[in-house]
Amino acid sequence: MVFNTGAALLDAIVLAVVSQEEEGTYGYKITQDVRKAIEVSESTLYPVLRRLQKDECLEVYDRQFDGRNRRYYKVTDKGTIQLELYRTEWKEYSKKINELFEGGVSA
């Protein structure tokens, strides 16, 4: 992709992906789901997950899987509020960009 992905957009995408699973989801699956929208490496995503955890938008817990612990991430109430803010901002932002790209025609 030729467009840069800023921190806020990455945060929004990760929160959206994690929010789709009520019980939370684990890092590798998050990476795979995010890659459906944008190309990103695991080394880019894990700092995003840590930042969202530090900001209390995600909670983390471990669960046994095939004899190993797997780290799960779940959206908190604060994360849900933040995600709704991102969704609102994204709708307005993408509407303006679409209008520019389409020569003033609103989509």
For residues 107 and 73, the model is more confident at 73
* Number of domains within the chain: 1
Full-prediction pTM beyond 0.85?
A: yes
pLDDT of residue 74: 97
Domain that holds residue 62: 7-101
Smallest Cα–Cα separation from 46: which of 10, 1, 90? 10
Q: Please write the tens of the pLDDT for every residue from 78-104.
A: 999 999 999 999 999 999 999 999 986
Count the neighbouring beta carbons within 10 Å of the beta carbon of residue 67.
Answer: 5
Q: Please write the tens of the pLDDT for every residue from 14-72.
A: 999 999 998 899 999 999 999 999 988 888 899 999 999 999 999 999 998 888 999 99
Q: What CATH number is given to the structural domain containing 92?
A: 1.10.10.10
68-75 β-sheet, strand order = 25-26, 68-75, 58-65
> Does some domain include residue 1?
no
> Does some domain include residue 16?
yes
> Does some domain include residue 107?
no
Query: How far, in Å, CA of 22 to CA of 89, rounded?
Result: 24
103: left (phi over 0), alpha (psi -120 to 50) or beta: left
> Does some domain include residue 2?
no
